[in-house]
Amino acid sequence: MTLVAAAYEMTAGRLWSLVAGALGVAGIAVLVLTRGRGALVAVVTGGIGAVIGALVVVMAQGGPGTGYGIVGGYITLVLGVVTAGLGVAAGRRGARAAARRDG
Provide the whole-model pTM: 0.83
DSSP state for residue 67 in the 8-state scheme: S
For the cut 80, the answer to whether the pLDDT of residue 79 exceeds it is: yes
Give pLDDT, residue 85. Answer: 94
Distance CA 55, CA 41 (A): 21
Distance CA 13, CA 11 (A): 5
**pLDDT single digits (tens) 46-73:** 999 999 999 999 998 888 878 788 999 9
